[in-house]
Every structure is written in structure tokens, then in C-alpha cells.
Amino acid sequence: MSTVANKKPHGLLIVLVGPSGVGKSTISKMLAQRLNVAYIVSATTRPKEPGDEIGKEYDHVSQDEFFRRLDRDEFLEYAQVHGNYYGTPMHPALDYLNEGKDVLLEIDVQGALQVRYQYPEALLIFILPPNGPTLMQRLNDRGRDKPEDMDKRFRAARREIHMAKGSRAFDHMVINDSLDRAVEELTKIINLERTGGL
């Protein structure tokens, strides 16, 4: 049984996953502020888009640069999502963890499964929408995607949810039915894990 006394002197690696439009970025920012966790900026080959300021922060790089970093083994995990590459830079994340600081990653399900494999002690949480129509409405409200892209993201969301449930890799599944409630539930989950699950 894990206890505070035998906990490794490492920070907790928290991985937040969920389909586009589920509210992950807002939740991550609120958690990062509330819980004093380090938030890691991912690299992506996706060009900047209008509305990016309110979403997840990225280091936008060319495909050549992304593959240079990949060749140099600079990513903790990476994946191709909707035709673009995304990767978590290894150094800032591992440096924080080694200093004993908790780290929050906001990534897709393929990346989360890589993290699970490499860091079995990571806390993997999947954020679910309350239902399909609400997710479609949220994608629509973001005003970021063309109608055909929204359909693509909606179908991808269904695949992602299916994959997450089937993988059994996630420690928790949290429904974002109301932002405050979901953040409250996540705060409790993370705080419990910080105390060694006692």
C-alpha cells in the first residue's frame, strides 16, 4: 500500500485527456492556478488559428523542426492528431518532477497511453462531455472550426471516448457537466493522490 512515508521524492505526473470542445483547456488552467502544478507547453506543427489565445498554449514549430526534436529524443510523448503533430517536451516536465513539483499535461489519448506505459505511476484522467449534443454545441460555440471540421472533431471525439473506455488505462473519468463541479471533483482526486491515496 502506498503511504506518504514511502512515496518517491517525485512530483505527480497528472495527465488530462478528453475530446476537443470538452473544456480541457479551461479546466487545466483553473487546476494549474488552484493546485500549484506546472503546466507544460506542447510543441505542435499545427499553424496558429484564430481563437488560439483562449485555448491551450503552444510552441508552434515547422514539421522539420518537430522531427529534428523527435530525432533528438526530446519528447516525453508525441502523437499525430487531426493531421498535425503534437509533443510534450521532455525536459521541463522531467525537471519539475525531479524537483518534486507536480506536472499537468493536457494531451490526446494516444499520448496518454504512451505516458501510462513509460510512467505507470502517472495519474490519468479522462474528461467526458455530459452527452453528444452538448459536445456538438460546445464545438459550435467555440466558433473555431468550419462545419465540416466540427463534424470531423465530433466523430474523432466518439472514437477517442471509445478508445479511452476500452483501454482501461485511465484512473478516473470525470464528466464536465458544470465547470465548477468538474474542477472541484478533479481537485479532490488530485489532492487524494498527493497524499498517497490515503
Which residues in this chain contact ligand 5GP in the complex, by CB under 6 A? 20, 42, 46, 55-56, 77-79, 81, 86-88, 106-108, 110-111
Please tell me the distance from the alpha carbon of residue 172 to that of residue 125, in angstroms, as a whole number. 5
Please identify, using beta-carbon distances, which residue of 11 and 19 lies nearer to ligand 5GP: 19
Angstrom distance (rounded) from CA 84 to CA 46: 5
> Which residue lies nearer to ligand 5GP by CB, 7 or 30?
30
Q: How far is the CB of 20 from ligand 5GP (least distance, A)?
A: 5
What is the three-class DSSP state of 146?
coil
Q: How far apart are CB 67 and ligand 5GP at their closest, in Å?
A: 15
Q: What is residue 76's three-state secondary structure?
A: strand
Closest separation between CB of residue 5 and ligand 5GP, Å? 34
Shorter beta-carbon distance to ligand 5GP: residue 12 or 109: 109
Report the side by side order of strands in the sheet with 75-81.
Answer: 58-60, 42-44, 84-89, 75-81
Residue nearer to ligand 5GP on the CB measure, 7 or 58: 58
Best CA proximity match to 175, nearest among 13, 12, 14, 24: 24
